[in-house]
Amino acid sequence: MTHNARLSLRVSMLVAGVFALAGGWAQRWMSDDGLIVLRTVRNILAGHGPVFNAGERVEANTSTLWQYLIALVGWITGARLESVALWLSLLLTAAACVLATWAAGRYWGQTVLPFGVIIYLALPPARDFATSGLEWGLSLFWFGLWWALLVRWAQPPRTHAPAPVGYWLAVWSGLSWLVRPELALYGGVTGLLLLAATPRAWWKILLVALPIPAAYQVFRMGYYGLVTPHTAVAKSASDSAWGEGMAYLWDFAGTYALWLIAAAALAVGAIAARTRAARTGARAITAEAVLPRDEVSRGTAIVALALGCGFLHVLYVLRVGGDFMHGRMLLLPLFALLLPVMAVPLTKRITAVCLAVFVWATVVVARGHAFEPLPPDSKAQLGVVDERGFWVWATTGQLGSRGRAPLYAEDFLSWRLMSNYHEAIAQAQRSGAAQIHLVQVAADPAAPGAYEWLPRPRTPEASDLNVQPLTLYLVNLGMTSMNAGLDVRVLDTVGLATPLAARMPRLPDARIGHDKLLPPEWQIADTGVDVAALPEPADRIKIMQARAALRTPEIRELLATSREPLSWSRFISNIKFSLTAGRHLSLDDDPAAYLDESTLSRINAGEDVGLVGPRVAWPRDL
């Protein structure tokens, strides 16, 4: 590279880093889903293991490496976990943008200006999820370093290189599965490319790429009893929902006219590719060398790899129905698709297109993305929403993407659903209650104090269910769990941390990511609640049916995979379960379907037969 090319690349990297840091910091926040990650981190640091509730081995987080990275930095620094997650995500996002811009500039090998990175950072969801407590920063960093390693691998070999870059690329590709499961697409195809390019070294590539992900996979199957993170089971990631996926794509692409920007990016990429091919060919003739032919083929291969995997990633997102958060699940494939043009050659035609895109980016940043709340009395459910905008509104009442967003767990206590939350937990623990539950106590759901948490007493009868600590359920799992002690069992109704809920049938026309529901009778049954003390509206018969159904072999084994104390026997049984019933088990939401006529008759006569029987709950060390 010439002096001017190096200077332009440094300036482009500086622009990418500054824009990423400034944009992410301006939109800094903590999401409810981000707090879910931190609950697991709290349990890791407390010595309970990588679990959401002590004594229940449930992998409630999609990204394995993200939770351990937060735990490591939190342990070293002693800082608040919310702050650790925010700064890690923000710095990793900035590093990803800088790395990707640097690699693109090195790929083109001439004077460049930032392009794709400006497109990405202009989008409000990209800046929102530069923080949020979720693993998007780590995922982007994986992409940035992956692209940088690919570009280095595609260049002619240098004898002074300390180690073959292909092996480092293999190691990094192997970690893809632990960053996010769908990134295994990129890592796996990269592995195939490396094997095809160096067939004689196939065993060395596999030797460095597979041990870490393979070891964790064995651990996951034996510890959790699943092949995938529990979130994949809860969200039925193997099912298809193309219609919802297309609506999700348009909600993102249509809002910002991304179809027009995609056309511009393709045009710029095509012009830059022709320019690079001409320069490389001229260099080959001048140097009378053979090496550039291999350089051209590898350079073409890595661009095809990024674009092909990015396109397949988009198809996967569409297939599973997208997401309930505006733009979130499309950010990663978009970043991958933009990698070759994060920085682009400075030519007249390209500069003209870039200027037009910069105008678009300015308009998008200035407009932002507003959240429109549903009326309090609306019976409609939220669809795809601006998640940050929602939590700004929910916790402060403000509208607009630039409102003050929650940063810490206690900031969520101002939401109406968290009224008297701390007081209810303290009262329930003093009285030895088995559960607290949320009820609406005012006609207007938007009124302050419209909701209240109330205790449910524990049964006086002997039962292994009485070893369960104080339990509560709410779909918003993060704010409830991070505002409660680790001695409180916090569960959700859609299945992220609740195996019973995750195996319930999908609800038709429900919100993506929230289309499972654990009925109230199952929620109460899996606790030590005294059914006889419940008020009259409660369906006591159904609750006792569900409690008896917990003892049946199919459900009992499901519960044992996460609750039975871990031993080698349980570890092996969990591996078997993960490869058999764990892959496809689905529960009937009607507990009567699991019981014979004799048991149903006893329950109808008022006998709570499910209080005793084969163990489904074990004491936990808190």
Pick the range with the lowest mean pLDDT from 147-156, 165-174, 446-455.
446-455
Per-residue pLDDT, averaged over 598-611, amounts to: 94
The answer on pLDDT for 91 being more than 60 is yes
Q: Judge contact between 128 and 371, C-beta under 8 A.
A: no
> 235 falls in which pLDDT band (50, 70, 90)?
confident
Indicate the number of domains in the chain. Answer: 3
Judged by average pLDDT, the poorest of 39-43, 173-177, 390-394, 574-578 is 390-394
Predicted confidence band at 288 (pLDDT cuts at 50, 70, 90)?
A: very low
Residue 268 near residue 350, CB atoms below 8 Å: yes
Task: Judge residue 290's burial from the number of C-beta atoms within 10 Å of its C-beta, 0-12 exposed, 13-18 middle, 19 or more buried.
Answer: exposed
Q: How far is CA 407 from CA 83, 399, 413, 549, in A?
A: 8, 17, 12, 41
Considering the domain architecture, whether residues 315 and 401 belong to the same structural domain is answered as no
- pLDDT at res. 510: 77
Range of the domain at 258: 3-30+62-367
Residues 393 and 519 in one domain: no
Q: How far is residue 320's CA from residue 233's CA, in Å, rounded to a whole number?
A: 12
- Give the model's pLDDT for residue 442: 81
Residue 177 lies in a domain: yes
- Residue 39 in any domain: the answer is no
pLDDT at 566 over 60: yes
**Residue 582 above 90 pLDDT?**
yes
Give the pLDDT confidence score for residue 290 in this predicted structure: 42
Average pLDDT, the chain: 91
What pLDDT does 278 receive?
75
313 and 431 housed in the same domain: no
Residues 250 and 353 in one domain: yes
H helix and E strand count, the chain = 28, 6
Same domain, 216 and 94: yes
Mean pLDDT score, 190-204: 91
Residue 240 has pLDDT above 60, yes or no: yes
Residue bearing tokens 């200035």: 366
Q: Residue 160: what pLDDT?
A: 44
Q: Are residues 160 and 276 in the same domain?
A: yes
- What pLDDT digit, counting tens, does each position of 424-460 carry? 999 999 999 999 999 988 877 777 678 999 999 999 9
Q: How confident is the model at residue 371, as a pLDDT?
A: 74
Judge if 333 and 424 occupy the same domain. no
pLDDT at 376: 57
How does residue 287 score in pLDDT terms, banded at 50, 70 and 90?
very low
User: pLDDT at position 2, please?
Assistant: 86
Query: Is residue 194 situated within a structural domain?
Result: yes
pTM of the entire structure? 0.94
> 601 with 525, same domain?
yes
Q: How confident is the model over 381-391, as a mean pLDDT?
A: 85
198 and 304 fall within a common domain: yes
Identify the helix (H) or strand (E) that includes residue 451.
strand 451-456
pLDDT value of position 291:
43
Q: How many whole angstroms separate alpha carbon 221 and alpha carbon 572? A: 9
152 lies in some domain: yes
Return d(Cα 607, Cα 511) in angstroms, integer.
38
SS3 content of the chain, % helix, strand, coil (to 5): 60, 5, 35
Q: Is residue 47 part of a domain?
A: no
The percentage of residues in the chain with a pLDDT greater than 90, rounded to a whole number, is 78
| Residue 616 in this model has a pLDDT that exceeds 90 | yes
The model's confidence at residue 293, banded by pLDDT at 50, 70 and 90, is low
Mean pLDDT of 532-559: 93
pLDDT, one tens digit per residue, over 101-112 is: 999 999 998 999
Q: Return the structure tokens found at 117.
A: 């990175």
pLDDT at 281: 62
Asked if residue 146 belongs to a domain, the reply is yes
Q: What is the per-residue pLDDT across 303-332, written as a single tens digit (0 to 9) for each?
A: 999 999 999 999 999 998 999 999 999 999
**pLDDT of 292:** 47
pLDDT bucket at 295, cuts 50 / 70 / 90: low
Condensed to tens digits (0 to 9), the pLDDT of residues 447-494 reads 767 899 999 999 999 999 999 999 999 999 999 999 999 999 999 999
Closest CA to 43 of 351, 349, 488: 488
pLDDT for residue 296: 65
Statement: residue 416 has pLDDT above 60: yes
Considering the domain architecture, whether residues 155 and 196 belong to the same structural domain is answered as yes
Secondary structure class of 165 (helix, strand, coil): helix
Instruction: Please report whether residue 266 resides in a domain.
Output: yes
pLDDT of the residue at 289: 45
pLDDT band at 375 (very low <50, low <70, confident <90, very high): low
pLDDT for position 298: 86
Same-domain check for residues 354 and 459 = no
**Are residues 390 and 487 located together in one domain of the fold?**
no
